[in-house]
């Protein structure tokens, strides 16, 4: 019996992965693309858990000078088939620093962590202390970094100094690899010490990457593209390749051929359709069909159990906070996304964290770069992007957020009463509960009248998320001779099916709400919206006409047997 390789879940060290004969999806042609691109400093933001750290580790083991021969790590991989690239393996000194674990609630804790990982890299290159490469005072500065005794200024210049000292020793320019450069900024924003963190990062990165004559190449990865003026001010030699660009488009995440090969290896190829529905859907540049590698690997590790592996693998606090606090326009956009639609938004070139709370379009850039949304097509320069939810796993997270909105507006007992009275046809109870719901919630859905119907629509769809499981909720679909607003379809055809039609009424004409609600019922009948329910064998049907004016609502109804 052939033993299948163990999966590399949780392993981000390339050498450990190869030495332990773990399953490896060959991304070694990233090395070719880095070399051919020729960019002095490349910033490559990619989604969380899409292989950034492992890829940088691979680059380190490929390029780094070492007393041991590391070429065996690459034999059998695609890059080793190309002789011109084999010639540069093991030829450069390398600095490799990862900032991914700097996630602290105060600046003092974060700076202490900075000192720790910089000291560790200095310790790795302690050979520089041998001989006369460093002057006595430089050796003292070196020891202060290792002992974590240096000042904030000394640590801010540590990257610059280390590359210079390494160049003196090796007589070869240095490759600098920095992983998850944006993690400290994210934590600082959440912890309230953003300005001091950004100032430190700006000095540290600019010193090591800007006009550094000892630098051969710099590769920086992260999730977000922080605005250049915030962190890369004056750094003119950096080229950025985001998920909107063509470069490196298939080097992070899994493409479908790689997923098929993986599933076949573990005898799960028959599950491809499910895997595609749950974990596919990302687009990078013009490359469609990028799968979430973390979720796919966990699916295989769990022997084919579908689950929300990616969305539950990290703190979604920032995303939740921004969407929950967002105004009516944002919530209406989320409703459009939840019904498998798309929205068109201008994506900011870079994230400026303090602007997130202002409700600007920066929020959409954050959601896109973080992997909660994806692009439907590669936009031309300066043209707004069409955004959508990539897959079922992420959609379920959005649905849970919608439920959170309503939990904050109405207690759980009343929410259950609201839904129960609706699906049992107790319209008197439903009308009272719904009116209370509107009064307590509509302040967060407050937008101009000309967009109000869309917001009412979002509000009702959000409310109905709590029926998930036993009911299908459809919106703006064709049935009969037109498009209904909302349809609640029971999976048990013996239960009550519900059709909702919305009408908005000018505040000055609020006394016409009853008439508008009746017109909604007539429209349901005239347009024969119930046809879809009839086609499913559902004959017990409730027509609901909902007329809104601000926080006032009137509901009319009719049962169709």
Q: How confident is the model at residue 324 (pLDDT cuts 50, 70, 90)?
A: low
Which of 33, 28, 3 lies closest to 18 in space, CA to CA? 28
End-to-end CA distance of the chain: 62
Cβ contact 216:175 at 8 Å: yes
Question: Is 3.90.1570 the CATH classification of the domain at 409-560?
Answer: yes
Which pTM does this prediction carry? 0.79
Q: Which residue has the higher pLDDT, 259 or 461?
A: 259
* Dihedral, 364, 370, 374, 375 alpha carbons, nearest 10: 60
Lowest-confidence segment of 43-52, 137-146, 413-422, 425-434 by average pLDDT: 413-422
- Note the Cα 190 to chain centre separation in Å: 17
CA pair distance 320, 41, nearest whole angstrom? 33
Contacts of 380 (CB under 8 A, 6+ apart): none
Q: Please, which residues bridge with residue 283 across strands?
A: 288
CA pair distance 145, 557, nearest whole angstrom? 74
Residues 240-291 have pLDDT tens digits of: 999 999 999 999 999 999 999 999 999 999 999 999 999 999 999 999 999 9
CA distances from 402 to 271, 323, 397 (A): 30, 9, 9
Q: What is the pLDDT of residue 393?
A: 95
- Alpha-carbon Rg for the chain in angstroms: 28
CA pair distance 223, 347, nearest whole angstrom? 15
Q: Which two tokens stand for residue 310?
A: 């990616």
Residue 26 pLDDT > 80: yes
Number of other CB atoms surrounding residue 195 within 10 Å: 12
Sign of CA dihedral 475, 479, 483, 484: negative
CA distances from 399 to 207, 339, 389, 392 (A): 44, 10, 11, 10
Q: Please, which residues bridge with residue 554 across strands?
A: 547
Which of 456, 461, 455 lies closest to 474 in space, CA to CA? 461
Contacts of 271 (CB under 8 A, 6+ apart): 263, 299, 304
Cβ contact 57:14 at 8 Å: yes
Residues 367-384 have pLDDT tens digits of: 899 899 999 987 776 678
Residue 409 pLDDT > 60: no
CA pair distance 70, 500, nearest whole angstrom? 66
CA pair distance 270, 261, nearest whole angstrom? 12
Ramachandran assignment for 246, one of left (phi > 0), alpha (psi -120 to 50 degrees), beta (any other): alpha
CA pair distance 79, 84, nearest whole angstrom? 10
Lowest-confidence segment of 15-24, 144-153, 327-336, 391-400 by average pLDDT: 327-336
Sheet holding 471-475, edge to edge: 471-475, 486-490, 497-504, 541-549, 552-560
Most confident stretch, 232-241, 359-368, 453-462, 540-549 = 540-549
Q: Which two tokens stand for residue 215?
A: 């630098």
HSE at residue 334, side-chain half, CA atoms within 13 A, is 34
CA pair distance 40, 367, nearest whole angstrom? 29
Which of 201, 107, 105, 109 lies closest to 159 in space, CA to CA? 201
Cβ contact 308:268 at 8 Å: no
Q: In 171-270, where does DSSP find H-type helix?
A: 183-191, 194-209, 228-231, 256-265
Q: Which two tokens stand for residue 157?
A: 């210049």
In the block, residue with structure tokens 């310790």: 123
Residues 167-189 have pLDDT tens digits of: 999 999 999 999 999 999 989 98
Q: Which two tokens stand for residue 519?
A: 């017109």
> What is the three-class DSSP state of 39?
coil
In the block, residue with structure tokens 């090395």: 31
To the nearest whole percent, how much of the chain has pLDDT over 70?
91
Residues 79-105 have pLDDT tens digits of: 999 899 999 999 999 999 999 989 899
What is the rounded average pLDDT of the residues 387-400? Answer: 90
Write down the architecture of domain 28-68+90-240 according to CATH.
3-Layer(aba) Sandwich (3.40)
Q: How confident is the model at residue 1 (pLDDT cuts 50, 70, 90)?
A: very low
Residues 36-59 have pLDDT tens digits of: 988 899 999 999 999 999 999 999
Residues 501-527 have pLDDT tens digits of: 998 887 767 678 999 999 999 999 999
Q: How confident is the model at residue 238 (pLDDT cuts 50, 70, 90)?
A: confident
What is the rounded average pLDDT of the residues 138-155? Answer: 94
Q: How confident is the model at residue 195 (pLDDT cuts 50, 70, 90)?
A: very high
Cβ contact 28:77 at 8 Å: yes
Q: Which two tokens stand for residue 116?
A: 């720790």
Q: What is the pLDDT of residue 332?
A: 74
CA distances from 396 to 310, 363, 392, 492 (A): 12, 19, 6, 22
Q: Which residue has the higher pLDDT, 283 or 436?
A: 283
Contacts of 56 (CB under 8 A, 6+ apart): 96, 98, 177, 179, 219, 221
Mean pLDDT of the chain: 88
Residue 343 pLDDT > 70: yes
Kindly list the domain boundaries of the chain, sorted by start residue.
28-68+90-240, 256-301, 317-397, 409-560
Q: Quick one: 315 exposed, middle or buried, by C-beta within 10 A (0-12, 13-18, 19+)?
A: exposed
The angle subtended at Cα 90 by Cα 89 and Cα 95, nearest 5°, is: 120
CA pair distance 155, 157, nearest whole angstrom? 5
Which of 320, 98, 311 lies closest to 190 in space, CA to CA? 320
Cβ contact 342:376 at 8 Å: yes
Backbone angles phi, psi at 444, to 5 degrees: -85, -5
Greatest distance between any 2 Cα atoms in the chain: 95
Contacts of 349 (CB under 8 A, 6+ apart): 225, 227, 228
Residue 35 pLDDT > 80: yes
Q: How confident is the model at residue 144 (pLDDT cuts 50, 70, 90)?
A: very high
Residue 445 pLDDT > 50: no
Q: How confident is the model at residue 114 (pLDDT cuts 50, 70, 90)?
A: very high
């Amino acid at each position: 019996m052939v033993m299948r390789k163990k999966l590399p879940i949780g392993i981000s060290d390339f050498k450990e992965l190869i030495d332990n004969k773990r399953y490896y999806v060959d991304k070694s042609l990233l090395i070719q693309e880095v070399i051919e691109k020729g960019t002095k400093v490349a910033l490559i933001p990619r989604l969380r858990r899409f292989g950034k750290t492992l890829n940088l580790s691979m680059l380190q083991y490929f390029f780094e000078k070492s007393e041991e021969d590391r070429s065996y790590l690459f034999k059998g991989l695609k890059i080793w088939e190309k002789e011109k690239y084999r010639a540069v393996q093991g030829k450069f000194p390398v600095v490799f620093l990862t900032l991914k674990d700097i996630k602290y609630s105060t600046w003092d804790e974060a700076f202490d962590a900075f000192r720790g990982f910089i000291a560790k890299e200095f310790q790795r290159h302690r050979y520089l202390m041998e001989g006369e490469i460093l002057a006595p005072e430089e050796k003292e500065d070196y020891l202060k970094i290792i002992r974590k005794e240096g000042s904030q200024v000394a640590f801010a210049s540590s990257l610059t100094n280390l590359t210079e000292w390494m160049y003196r020793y090796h007589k070869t320019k240095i490759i600098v690899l920095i992983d998850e450069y944006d993690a400290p900024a994210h934590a600082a924003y959440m912890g309230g010490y953003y300005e001091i963190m950004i100032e430190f990062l700006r000095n540290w990165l600019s010193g090591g990457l800007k006009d550094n004559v000892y630098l051969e190449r710099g590769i920086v990865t992260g999730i977000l593209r922080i605005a250049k003026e915030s962190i890369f001010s004056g750094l003119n030699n950096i080229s950025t390749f985001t998920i909107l660009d063509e470069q490196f488009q298939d080097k992070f995440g899994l493409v479908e051929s790689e997923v098929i090969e993986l599933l076949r290896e573990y005898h799960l190829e028959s599950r491809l359709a499910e895997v595609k529905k749950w974990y596919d859907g990302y687009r990078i540049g013009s490359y469609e069909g990028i799968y979430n590698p973390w979720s796919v690997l966990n699916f295989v590790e769990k022997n084919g159990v579908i689950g929300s592996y990616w969305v539950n693998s990290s703190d979604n606090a920032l995303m939740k906070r921004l969407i929950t606090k967002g105004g009516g326009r944002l919530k209406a956009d989320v409703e459009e996304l939840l019904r498998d639609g798309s929205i068109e938004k201008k994506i900011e070139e870079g994230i400026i964290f303090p602007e997130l709370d202002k409700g600007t379009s920066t929020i959409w850039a954050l959601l896109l770069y973080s992997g909660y949304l994806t692009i439907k097509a590669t936009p031309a320069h300066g043209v707004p992007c069409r955004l959508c939810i990539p897959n079922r796993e992420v959609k379920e997270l959005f649905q849970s957020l919608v439920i959170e909105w309503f939990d904050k507006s109405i207690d759980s007992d009343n929410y259950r009463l609201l839904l129960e009275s609706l699906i049992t046809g107790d319209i008197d109870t439903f009308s009272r509960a719904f009116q209370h719901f509107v009064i307590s919630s509509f302040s967060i859905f407050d937008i101009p009248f000309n967009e109000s119907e869309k917001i009412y629509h979002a509000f009702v769809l959000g409310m109905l998320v709590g029926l998930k499981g036993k009911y299908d909720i459809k919106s703006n679909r064709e049935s009969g001779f037109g498009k209904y607003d909302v349809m609640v379809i029971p999976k048990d055809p013996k239960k009550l099916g519900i059709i909702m039609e919305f009408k908005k009424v000018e505040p000055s004409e609020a006394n016409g709400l009853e008439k508008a609600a009746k017109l909604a019922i007539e429209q349901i009948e005239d347009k024969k919206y119930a046809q879809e329910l009839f086609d499913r064998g559902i004959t017990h049907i409730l027509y609901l006409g909902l007329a809104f004016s601000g926080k006032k609502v009137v509901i009319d109804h009719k049962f169709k047997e």
